[in-house]
Amino acid sequence: MSDPLVKVTDLQMYFPLTRGIIFQRQYGAVRAVDGISFEVAPGETLGIVGESGCGKSTTGRCLLRLLEPTGGSVEFDGVDVTHRDRRGLADLRRNAQMVFQDPYSSLNPRKTVGAIIAEPFVIHRMAREGDERKREVRELMDRVGLNPEHYNRYPHQFSGGQRQRIGIARAIALKPKLIVADEPVSALDVSIQAQIINLLEELRSELGLTLVVISHDLSVVRQMCDRIAVMYLGRIVESAAAQRVFDEPRHPYTGALLSAVPVPDPRIARAGEREVLSGDVPSPTAPPPGCRFHPRCPEAQARCATDEPQLRELDGGTLAACHFPLAPGAMAGDGVDTD
């Protein structure tokens, strides 16, 4: 295997909680990401899934160094970028881009689409002459399925799906190596989502991109990714090839997550022996001791409350952090817990 493009080791991102206005005291921390490690190979698509508050977006922001991690390290293309300053990040900024969830708030409403897409050239002083730049921008617009004649229009004149295309054009402008897409389709209408998913896939194979897709939607991630990491409360609980995760979930949380997704087929929906988790995700300021999932876990035993399981390799190559992993093929198993 070639060297990874992104290597994350023991990444930790705590946000301090403070009290007081003048004399601020820290009384705790939101442990958004609490010690995770993974690699992304060039050309690979990694999916990070989890529910709100699991730390998936924070992870994405740390990869791009939009946040400075409080612990661990992030390497991009063999260079440690964890604590680099602005100048030291120039290379990362050029080669790693982001596509945001909300195409309404991530585009400057006062700039024309042409200016928005040309912005990366300006920032990175890829100072091309006016005409040449304009031609490049038009090509980019055409590439993502926008009409190049709309160069001078403003974001409000476009629909949500088209705006997401603008955001994607901006992201690929500098021919980056890595794109982190944070919930790229969840703000879009269902009939438009497939258009954007297909576009990202085309671009990936055409430009040889490496993609990290962050989403709460398992079906979206399954459609797009080679490998998937499932997060829960700041930790990776399971990581494996995409198909494996869906066919043979080994962590009870992954199993529950899968069975919670409503399937658009009434026969399956009725027959489904669905495993409904009780309770909510606990607060990341005070995660439960032991396995963080144990208060909601149908398989939990005494050991889970005290002993935090580490990510380990199970037969078949799946990494799971669980003392009592599900047997392969034990999906929709026993211990159904309804409330």
Partner 1 sequence: MSALLEVRDLTVSFDTEDGVVHAVDGISYSVEPGKSLGIVGESGSGKTVGTLTIMGLTRSPNTTIGGEALFEGENLLTLDEERMREIRGNEIAMIFQDPLSSLHPYVTIGDQMVEAIRVHRNVSKKAAEDRSAELLGMVGIPDPRQRLSGHPYELSGGMRQRVMIAMALANDPRLLIADEPTTALDVTVQAQILELVASLQRETGTALVIITHDLGVVAEVADEVAVMYAGRIVERAPVDELFARPEHPYTWGLLDSIPRLDRPVSEGLTPIPGRPPSLIAPPPGCAFNPRCEFAMDECLSVIPPLEPSPASAGHLVACHLEPRKRERRR
Binding residues vs partner 1 (CB under 8 A): 51-52, 159, 161-162, 189-195, 197-198, 216-220, 222-223, 242-243, 246, 256-269, 274, 276-278, 280-281, 338-339
Nearer to partner 1, 89 or 241 (CB): 241
What is the rounded distance in angstroms from the CA atom of residue 244 to the CA atom of residue 313?
Answer: 13
Do the beta carbons of residue 215 and residue 49 sit within 8 Å? yes
Q: How far is the CB of 192 from partner 1 (least distance, A)?
A: 6
| Tokens, residue 124 | 């990175």
Structure-derived torsion over alpha carbons of residues 171, 113, 106, 132, reported in degrees to the nearest 10 = 30
| Tokens, residue 223 | 């459609």
Q: How far is the CB of 157 from partner 1 (least distance, A)?
A: 13
Please, what sign has the CA dihedral across residues 243, 247, 250, 252? positive
Q: How far is the CB of 292 from partner 1 (least distance, A)?
A: 14
Residue 36 DSSP symbol? E
Amino acid at 95: N
Nearer to partner 1, 141 or 258 (CB): 258
Alpha helices in the chain (DSSP H): 56-63, 90-95, 113-123, 130-143, 160-172, 190-207, 218-224, 242-247, 252-260, 266-271
Determine how many CB atoms are found less than 10 A away from the CB of residue 206. Answer: 10
Nearer to partner 1, 111 or 216 (CB): 216
Nearer to partner 1, 258 or 291 (CB): 258
Nearest alpha carbon to residue 323 among 337, 335, 305, 339: 305
Q: How far is the CB of 62 from partner 1 (least distance, A)?
A: 22
Do the beta carbons of residue 209 and residue 179 sit within 8 Å? yes
Nearer to partner 1, 115 or 192 (CB): 192
Q: How far is the CB of 110 from partner 1 (least distance, A)?
A: 21
Do the beta carbons of residue 332 and residue 274 sit within 8 Å? yes
Do the beta carbons of residue 126 and residue 174 sit within 8 Å? yes
Nearer to partner 1, 71 or 282 (CB): 282
Q: How far is the CB of 132 from partner 1 (least distance, A)?
A: 32
Nearer to partner 1, 130 or 266 (CB): 266
Q: How far is the CB of 278 from partner 1 (least distance, A)?
A: 7
**C-alpha 197: how far from chain center:** 14
Q: How far is the CB of 246 from partner 1 (least distance, A)?
A: 7
Q: How far is the CB of 184 from partner 1 (least distance, A)?
A: 13
What is the rounded distance in angstroms from the CA atom of residue 45 to the CA atom of residue 101?
Answer: 18
Nearer to partner 1, 123 or 194 (CB): 194
What is the rounded distance in angstroms from the CA atom of residue 91 to the CA atom of residue 87?
Answer: 9
Nearer to partner 1, 74 or 233 (CB): 233
